[in-house]
Structure 1
Amino acid sequence: MIHPLTLAAALLLTATPGVAHYGMIIPSDSMIMQDDPRDIDVTVSFAHPFEREGMELVTPKVFRLYGPQGETDLLPTLTPAPFMGQPAFATQLTISEPGLHVLYMEPQPYWEPAEDAFIVHHTKTYLAAFGQEEGWSEPQGLITEIKPLSKPYGLWAGNLFQGQVLRDGAPVPGAEVEIEFYNQDGAVTAPSDAMITQTILADDNGVFSYAAPGAGWWGFAALTTADYTLPHDGVEKLVELGAVVWVHFEAWP
C-alpha cells in the first residue's frame, strides 16, 4: 500500500525551494567500450548536487552491484573519500564482463531537522559494457525505485528520459519527481532558486518524462513516505523514501 504524504509532512518537505537532497552514485564513465579503460572510479555521496553542497554520508547499509553474473556485495570495497567537504566514499570497479551493471546504495536513515523527518534515498546508476545492453528496463525489486522506460545511458542532451516510479513493485500514481543537475565544475548558475530543482508529477501509471537541457549527470528522485516511522529524541518521526536514479546525457557533437 502506498502511503502518501500527509498535508503537514508535504508542507515540511517542500517548504524550502532549491534544497533537494540526493543520494549520489557517480561513476567516471557510464558506457565502457572495447578500447576504454576497464577500471571505473565511483563516488558515493549525499548532497545538494546543483549547489555543490555536501552532507554527511555514514557507511551505507547496502552498496551492491547487479551484474551479468548476479549480485555482488561491494560494501567492503568502499573507502572514506570526502566529497564536497563532507564524509563520503569511493571505490574502483574493474569491468570485465559485457552487459549491464547497476550500482545500488541504501544509506542509513539521515535525520533532517529542517524537514522534521528522516531521509532514505535508494539510489541507482547504470553502466553499459562492451555493447551488451539487455535488461536495462528491468527493475531490481527494491522497496522503491525508478524503472527506466528510456535507456538510462547513451542519451544526447535534449533527449527525453522516461521512467516509471515503483513502490513495492507497483506503480505510484501521481508521484512527485524532483530533477537536478550535478553542477560538477560549478559553471552553471540558476537565475532563481526555483530553477535549481525541477519538479514534475508522474501520470496515473507512475510514468514521467524529462528532456535534459544540457550534458552531464542528472538526478531523478521520486519521493514517497514510508509505512513506518523512526524515533528521534523519543518521538516517532516520518521517513521520506527516495527512489533515485542518476542518468548521464552526452553533449551533442
Structure 2
Amino acid sequence: MLRYLLLTLSSAICLCSFSASAHFQELIPSHDIVSTPAESQLSLSLKFTHPMSRGPLMNMATPLQFGVVGPQGRQNLLDTLQAQQTQGVQTFNAIYQIKRPGDYLFYLEPAPYWEPAEGKMIVHYTKVVVDAFGMEDNWAAEVGLPVEIVPLTRPFGLWSGNLFQGVVKRQGKPVPFAEVEVEWLNDGSITPPSDPYITQIVHADANGTFSYVMPKAGWWGFAALLDGKKPMKNPQGKEVPVERGGLIWVFTRDMK
C-alpha cells in the first residue's frame, strides 16, 4: 500500500512539474522597432519551447505558413526559412529586409505537434509586430489566423510596468472568458521560486479582452489556448484532441 501511494505521489509530482511549464511557439525578431537603415535587416528566430524554464526545445517540422502583412501587402515568406539544429532538434531562422516605413505583422502557422504526455496535438498560431521608421499605421490589424490575439495596446515601444491588453478571437469573433498563459523569455537572470511563477494565468472578460502588467524588461509571450472543435490524427493515426493557440510576442524596456 505504501509503495502504491509513493508511486501515485511521484506521478502526480511529475505531472505537476510538466504542466507548470507551458508550450510556447516563439517568433522573435532581432528588433521590435527599426529606427535606422542599419537595423532594417531583421533576423527572426522560430523555436518551440518553454521560455520561462529555458527549455527544453521541441523539434519543429516545416511550418505550414510563415509570412508578413505590411506596407507591401501580404507576403509569403516560407521560402526564406532556414532549418538549423539547436540542442539536437530542428528550429528555424529567417532574414527579412525592411524596405518601407510601416508596421510589419509577422505570422506563423507551425506544423501540428504531437505531445504524448498531454495526449493531444498542438497548433500555435503566432505573430509579432515590428514597427519601421515611426509610421505606426497598422499594428492593430488582424492577420486572419484561426485563433488570434488582437492587441488593444500598441505592441511595441513598451516600458516594463506597462499594461498590455488584447482581445482573444476565434474565426474573427471574440472568445468570452478565454484563458491566456503568459511567460517571460528568460535570459537566465531569474529563477522562479516555485512552479506557479513560471506561467502566469489570466482570464479574458465576457468580451474576450484580457490585461496583464509586464513587470520586467524583455520579450513577453501571450498564449490564448482553446480546444479545437475537431480532432486530429496523431503520428500513430489515432484521432486525438487539438489545442489551438493564438500567440503574440511583445518587447518591453526598463525606463532608465
TM-score (norm 1): 0.91
**Distance (Å, rounded) in 1 between the aligned partners of 2:53 and 2:88:** 13
Paired residue secondary structure (1:119): strand
Q: 1:106 aligns with which of 109, 129, 149?
A: 109
1:118–1:39: structure 2 CA closer, same or farther, 3 Å change rule?
same
Q: Which residue identity lines up with residue 42 of structure 2 in the other structure? A: I
Q: Which residue identity lines up with residue 171 of structure 2 in the other structure? A: D
1:133–1:14: structure 2 CA closer, same or farther, 3 Å change rule?
farther
1:214 equivalenced with 2:216 (yes/no): yes
Residue range with higher mean Cα deviation, 129-138 or 207-216: 129-138
How far did 1:15 drift? 8.7
Number of equivalences: 240
How far did 1:85 drift? 4.7
Q: What is the match of residue 236 of structure 1?
A: 239
Q: What is the match of residue 194 of structure 1?
A: 196
How far did 1:86 drift? 2.6
Q: 1:170 aligns with which of 170, 173, 178?
A: 173
1:80 equivalenced with 2:83 (yes/no): yes
Aligned-pair Cα RMSD in Å: 1.6
Q: Is the 8 A contact 1:150 1:163 kept in 2?
A: yes
Q: What is the match of residue 66 of structure 2?
A: 63
Q: What is the match of residue 143 of structure 1?
A: 146
Q: What is the match of residue 205 of structure 1?
A: 207
Q: Which residue identity lines up with residue 228 of structure 1 in the other structure? A: K
Share of identical aligned residues, percent?
Answer: 45
TM-score (norm 2): 0.90
1:93–1:35: structure 2 CA closer, same or farther, 3 Å change rule?
closer
**Distance (Å, rounded) in 1 between the aligned partners of 2:171 and 2:16:** 24
How far did 1:14 drift? 8.5
**Distance (Å, rounded) in 2 between the aligned partners of 1:133 and 1:83:** 34
Unaligned segments of structure 1, at least 5 residues = 1-12
Q: Which residue identity lines up with residue 154 of structure 1 in the other structure? A: G
Q: Is the 8 A contact 1:173 1:202 kept in 2?
A: yes
**Distance (Å, rounded) in 1 between the aligned partners of 2:192 and 2:27:** 23
Unaligned segments of structure 2, at least 5 residues = 1-14
Residue range with higher mean Cα deviation, 46-55 or 78-87: 78-87
Q: 2:50 aligns with which of 39, 48, 52?
A: 48
**Distance (Å, rounded) in 1 between the aligned partners of 2:113 and 2:16:** 17
How far did 1:84 drift? 5.1
Q: 1:245 aligns with which of 238, 245, 248?
A: 248
How far did 1:36 drift? 4.2
**Distance (Å, rounded) in 1 between the aligned partners of 2:50 and 2:81:** 21
Q: What is the match of residue 98 of structure 2?
A: 95
Q: Is the 8 A contact 2:24 2:51 kept in 1?
A: yes
Q: Is the 8 A contact 1:52 1:84 kept in 2?
A: no
Q: What is the match of residue 225 of structure 2?
A: 223
Paired residue secondary structure (1:194): helix
Q: Is the 8 A contact 2:17 2:195 kept in 1?
A: no
1:154 equivalenced with 2:157 (yes/no): yes
Q: Which residue identity lines up with residue 161 of structure 1 in the other structure? A: F
**Distance (Å, rounded) in 2 between the aligned partners of 1:85 and 1:179:** 27
Larger Rg: 2
Structure having the higher helix fraction is: 2
